[in-house]
Amino acid sequence: MVTFTVGSVVLIPFPFSDLSRSKLRPAVVIADVEHGDWILCQVTSQPYSDSQAIEIT
């Protein structure tokens, strides 16, 4: 089983919105929850217009 460290940048296959395919994208490990589950935050260089998006500079 792969283990991650909170704050690490990992490559994860994120699905397209129609779930037809996925693409490897960078993500930051935010939290280690239980039973091998992790909370991740996708990272992108493109502006993203969403009320929950957080800009990292």
Pairwise pLDDT comparison (32 vs 1), residue with the higher score: 32
Pairwise pLDDT comparison (13 vs 55), residue with the higher score: 13
- Residue 35 has a pLDDT of 85
Using CB atoms within 10 Å of the CB of residue 27, give its burial: 0 to 12 exposed, 13 to 18 middle, 19+ buried. buried
- Residue 4 has a pLDDT of 83
- Residue 3 has a pLDDT of 76
Express each pLDDT in 13-54 by its tens digit.
Answer: 989 989 999 999 999 999 989 888 899 988 888 887 888 888
- Residue 1 has a pLDDT of 65
Question: At residue 54, what are phi and psi to the nearest 5 degrees?
Answer: -120, 125
**CB hemisphere CA count around 15 (13 angstroms):** 4
